[in-house]
Amino acid sequence: MAEQAKPEGYFTHAQSHSSNKLEKNASKSRGSGSPFKCIGLGLAQQIKSEKDEDLTAARLRIEELESLAANRQKEIFALNARLATTESMTHDVIRDLLGVKLDMTNYVSVLDNQQVQKITEKARLSSLESQVKEHDIVKLKQQLDEFVAERQGWLEEIDRKQAELVAAEVALEKLRQRDQLLKTENEMLKVENVNYKKKVMELEGEVKKLSGQQNLQQRIHHHAKIKARLLHFPVVAKFGDIELHPKEENNTLKVQNEDLSAKLRRSEVVLSRVREELAHYRASIGKNPHINIDEEQRLNNRLRESNDDRVQLAQKLLGLCTSVLKAAGITKPISDICPAAAEEALDQLKNKVISLERELQTLTLKGDVKISKLKNRDGKLRLNAGGGASALSTKCVQSSEKSKKEVRIGLLGASGYTGAEIVRLLANHPYFGITLMTADRKAGQSMGSVFPHLITQDLPTLVSVKDADFSNVDAVFCCLPHGTTQEIIKGLPRHLKIVDLSADFRLRDIAEYEEWYGQPHSAPDLQKEAVYGLTEILREEVKSARLVANPGCYPTSIQLPLVPLIKAKLIEHQNIIIDSKSGVSGAGRGAKEANLYSEIAEGIYSYGVTRHRHAPEIEQGLSDAAQSKVTVSFTPHLMPMIRGMQSTIYVEMSQGVTVEDLYQQLRKYYEGEEFVKLLDKGVVPRTHNVRGSNYCFMNVFPDRIPGRAIIISVIDNLVKGASGQALQNLNIMLGGYDAELLNGKSFPTILKDSFQYLEAQKCSLTIKQNRVIQNTKPGICFAMNMARGQSGDPEKINFDHIIEKARRLWDNTPLPVKRFPWNRALDNFVQLILDLILAVIKYLSAPLLAVLALSEMSYCAHQKKLKIIPVPLLVGFVLVGILKETALELSPLLKDAEVPWHLIAIAILFTLIKLPGPYYPYWGRIFIPHFANGALLRTLWLMFSWYRRPKEISGAVLPNSSVTGNNSESE
């Protein structure tokens, strides 16, 4: 440091001083005429030349040292600055620690027996509160069970009533059709019945006349008998204007009665003939001659009863939904209450129960922490200041959550891409917990140091395979390279369920394995036991297996679309051409020259042409489906992308088979599968749409060559092509696990929920079966730095934190604020702004137009062209009228519209024409602005007339009503 601090002139001064000293010494003579003088001068000159060379080298060295010293000085200054910053931070930390220590000392000094009793009382009250919450949770669970049972009963009754209603509606529809036919028949017969009705009316008139005459004759005859008895003289009856003897009168009446009876008989014959003709006509058209009025009445009554039952059932369902919403604390108008809202409320109640259980667990842990603090209080606090209790609570919660995992997973080869994907997928699995992770090259390191995106996960430390302890493991994922798995799996305990992601157990023929992989198979017994794990094709075989050989990525994307078609014999087994493209991650994480960025970027690379190791695996699966030998032409390509895989397959269809048959076969085969999706017709699958998911998207297209078809399938090579399918296989292998521990939830459903979490992982909310729950773990992005950066990066916005704060703020918002109709208020606010804009336009448009017109007229006056201004004004005035009439003819609905949209459009058009007025040429500047002024003037007048037009009042016709009133009064 002292040498570096010396000034620059120091060295030059020292050099000059030494040179002068040498010259003085050299000038000294040993005596005049001495022979040593020449020798001395020669030596001095030689020494001087050597010194000059040394001085030159020293100068260069000094310059280098000076530059180095300057650089070191800058480094020293930077280090001093950092040291000062560190010291200031250290002082701040020490000050904070001293303050914390002082607070803790004060707390310990102040804490006495009375405070201990208070804390004990608080702990007891918190335990009582936890008991009360447990009681409330039990009640809520009982209410939920009752609601679910009652809802199931109502649903069954609704289905039954719905079936009865459908049957009644069918019968009613038949009756309506019959009534319609009868109406048409009656209309046809009305003309024929007119004459018969006239005849019947005449006969009825004659019958009335005859009955009146008969009654008159009976009265006359009765009075005549009485008079004959009293007076004993012949009785003479006057009948009309003719006087008759009683006997003659009786004879006349008898004749009239006979005539009347004959007429009645004739009328009955006519009526019976009419009925017979009607019945004959109905029989001729295939209808029942007689109408069953009783059956029709019975069906109508049944329909009326079913409608009444339906109304009652709807009222009961409405009451049930209302009670569910009330229990969930949701208030809605009656018009918005529906079963869907009730189901959402039930889901919310379930979420509340889950949150209450978590709160109860947290309160219990906090109570335990408080009790431990009281017990360990002897002047020292064992918990760290500033959040030690919360850290302990968090660890207790994590350990308790980890202890809840029923299936303990071991992961061999965790430092590779497939191992990292398994860790990512298991992060949200409710029943699988990782207890063992091995990686020989990374032994002793944490998973977070190997893959930083997994740093927030509670994972065991990586160990080597030879040091692995399998006593705490139930199932194993083996992600080791090809050729190393056989010996390791042979040494594993027999009780373990194993899913091998290597190719060591995929080929059943050991000789074929040795041919394609170039090494002997060291576990032939395990090869006989292994089951090929193409999940959607061999689900039953996987279910009972102990060792599953997980398929490769290429075979998965190829066999899933081809196996169903080959089994159905819809395609030929020959001439199958497969063109597959994969991301770089399929080659593994090892450093290889062919996988360098400079070798892959901006190009496509074909590899393993005719000799790819997946070819025998593909042919083995297709041959099993065809029950005969199948050979394919398979060429893989390496694409400049990280993950994803697409297989384009060219097949020849069987005789008489169409592309539609292939599409329907795939749709039928994978109809119930969750992770294999057949896209809509014409939609091309894309690798971007399956990135990070366990889905396989596929579709079928017709080829230009007749009789051939093109099949495209896409997957994520690390998920569906490896880790995701391995997790599917392990779920199926453990499908016989204790159902009580799983609460009736199957493992495939759990896997589905896990993948739904992975698809929604970009935010802090997880979508699970139509309900939203809080994600208790930090979001996990894709491996290999394939997605967003870490949330702790200061240059990135932590959207998860913002969303979580917004959710908490909304949850803590008072209920009246939540119930406030914000949507309607926003609509009213937007409407107010629009009304203000329209009002400003309405009242300022005319003055603004006048000002602009005057300025343009001044220009015309300056150019002495005022006389020609009326011409463009009139043209624009007339043109607007033509445009208005044309718009009304093209769209008659504009006549009754509340807003004159056609006039607004015309105004906008001519405003745009008017705006560039000063930039028009000479005559354009004179004619076009005034032309637009005339058009705008006419448009404003039409708008004024539009809003001043009389409003039609529907349903009120005053003149007719007044006339009707006058008529009624006159009557």
At 906, which helix (H) or strand (E)? helix 901-914
If we measure between CA atoms, which residue out of 929, 747, 960 comes closest to residue 854?
A: 929
Q: What is the pTM of this model?
A: 0.42
> What phi-psi label fits residue 628: left (phi over 0), alpha (psi between -120 and 50 degrees) or beta?
beta
CB 539 within 8 A of CB 598: no
| φ, ψ for residue 244, nearest 5 deg | -125, 150
If we measure between CA atoms, which residue out of 653, 661, 667, 658 comes closest to residue 698?
A: 667
CA angle 399, 402, 404 (to 5 degrees): 115
CB 966 within 8 A of CB 937: no
Beta-carbon-side half-sphere exposure of residue 54 (alpha carbons within 13 Å):
9
**In this structure, what token pair is assigned to residue 892?**
């008659």
If we measure between CA atoms, which residue out of 582, 600, 603 comes closest to residue 592?
A: 600
Catalytic machinery residues: 553
If we measure between CA atoms, which residue out of 718, 734, 783 comes closest to residue 556?
A: 718
Other Cβ atoms closer than 10 A to 957: 11
At 582, which helix (H) or strand (E)? strand 576-582
Strand partners, 478: 412, 500
The dihedral over CA atoms of 51, 57, 63, 64, expressed in degrees to the nearest 10, equals: -140
Mean pLDDT by 10 residues, the chain (971 residues): 44 48 46 60 80 86 87 84 82 80 69 68 77 79 77 76 75 74 70 64 66 59 55 43 52 73 76 73 67 65 77 77 75 75 77 75 69 54 40 43 69 90 86 89 86 86 89 92 87 91 92 89 90 93 93 95 95 93 81 72 86 92 93 93 94 94 95 92 94 94 94 95 93 60 37 42 34 37 37 52 80 78 84 81 76 80 81 88 87 78 86 83 83 86 77 43 37 30
Per-residue CA distances from 850 to 185, 349, 840, 860, 937 (Å) = 75, 66, 16, 15, 9
CA gap 883, 630 in Å, rounded: 73
| φ, ψ for residue 709, nearest 5 deg | -140, 160
CA gap 225, 555 in Å, rounded: 123
CA gap 135, 157 in Å, rounded: 33
Greatest C-alpha distance within the chain? 229
Strand partners, 537: none
If we measure between CA atoms, which residue out of 451, 387, 384, 389 comes closest to residue 414?
A: 451
CA gap 927, 933 in Å, rounded: 10
**In this structure, what token pair is assigned to residue 354?**
């889950």
User: What residue has token string 């190719």?
Assistant: 503
CA gap 606, 339 in Å, rounded: 57
CA gap 357, 363 in Å, rounded: 10
At 799, which helix (H) or strand (E)? helix 799-811
